[in-house]
Amino acid sequence: MAYWALKVLLTPIFHLLWRVKVEGREHVPEHGPAVLAANHQSFCDSFFLPLVVRRKVTFLAKAEYFDVWRTAWFFRAAGQIPIRRGGGSASERALATAREVLSTGRLLGLYPEGTRSVDGKVHRGRTGVAGLSREVGVPVIPVGILGTEAVQPVGSRVMRPFHTVIIRFGAPMQMTPAADPDDPMADHDHSICRKFTDDVMREIARLSERGYVDEYVPKRGHT
């Protein structure tokens, strides 16, 4: 209930303060599970994307957002799920949570780059998005987000009004399902997952009108 109350409250405010354009919304399924895979350039991406989708979108949000009262209230009210970042068991827990969300027929929002890009490019994605499509048998909807870096640049706590934001949805993309759903790793080929992820990221780059870099987003403070 809190999610829809927030949406009813914020939608007219956002449309008053920003010119929000949506393209390709018909590609988002009306029912059933799917992954919305978007480029990530600003904290407010997670505000604008759910705003234009008629269904509830569940994001796996950084657990650090729940540690700060200024953002914790919003993420809790919006029903977002805290995830501690890192490799190994942390990554496995994140993927297990994502599978659980999709298995209940919900929409899952993901940023395959793993963190915000600050150079104006779309970078190499993590193959978890391909694994989810393959193991759970769900479509991946590539999403290009334009304009949010002007609304709230990285490091800014203020959203600047009167900018145009475009959310552009592409056609669904889907991995071939695992031959044995009970043992999805039995016929796993990482190279196929890598190619699928690269194709998704290139489509996201096209939709967001950004160049594509076949390298992971550099750690903050590195070039």
Q: In a structure prediction context, what are the per-residue pLDDT tens digits for the chain, which is 223 residues long?
A: 788 988 999 999 999 999 999 999 999 999 999 999 999 999 899 999 999 999 999 988 777 777 877 778 877 777 788 776 665 566 677 788 889 999 999 999 999 998 899 999 999 999 999 999 998 999 999 999 999 999 999 889 899 999 999 999 999 999 988 777 777 666 778 899 999 999 999 999 999 999 999 999 987 644 3
The b/e string for 39-62 (b: 16+ C-beta within 10 A; e otherwise) is: bbbbbbbbbbbbbbbebebbbbbb
Q: How far apart are CA 120 and CA 89, in angstroms?
A: 31
Predicted pLDDT of residue 88 = 58
**Is 150 domain-assigned?**
yes
**Is 54 domain-assigned?**
yes
Q: What angle do CA 47, 173, 3 make, to 5 degrees?
A: 25
**Is 200 domain-assigned?**
yes
User: And the tokens for 196?
Assistant: 């699928």
Q: How far apart are CA 33 and CA 20, in angstroms?
A: 25
Predicted pLDDT of residue 197 = 97
Predicted pLDDT of residue 223 = 36
Q: Where residue 73 sits, what CATH number does that domain have?
A: 3.40.1130.10
- Domain range for residue 80? 2-212
Signed CA dihedral, 137, 90, 74, 210: sign only = negative
Kindly report the pTM of this predicted structure.
0.90
Burial of 162 (0-12, 13-18, 19+ CB in 10 A): exposed
**Is 221 domain-assigned?**
no
The set of residues, in sequence order, having a beta carbon less than 8 Å from that of 156 and lying 6+ positions away, is none
Q: How far apart are CA 216 and CA 112, in angstroms?
A: 10
**Is 219 domain-assigned?**
no
CB atoms within 10 A of CB 208: 24
Q: How far apart are CA 174 and CA 140, in angstroms?
A: 6
**Is 87 domain-assigned?**
yes
Task: Tell which residue, 204, 156, 159, 153, has the closest CA to residue 39.
Answer: 204
**Is 28 domain-assigned?**
yes
The gap from C-alpha 186 to its chain's centroid, in whole angstroms, comes to 28
**Is 174 domain-assigned?**
yes
Domain count within the chain: 1
Predicted pLDDT of residue 85 = 61
Predicted pLDDT of residue 10 = 92
Q: For residue 117, give Cα distances in angstroms to 78, 148, 163.
A: 24, 12, 20
Task: Tell which residue, 176, 178, 198, has the closest CA to residue 186.
Answer: 178
Question: How many residues does this entry show for the chain?
Answer: 223
CB atoms within 10 A of CB 1: 7
For helices 128-136 and 190-207, the axis angle rounded to 10 degrees is 110
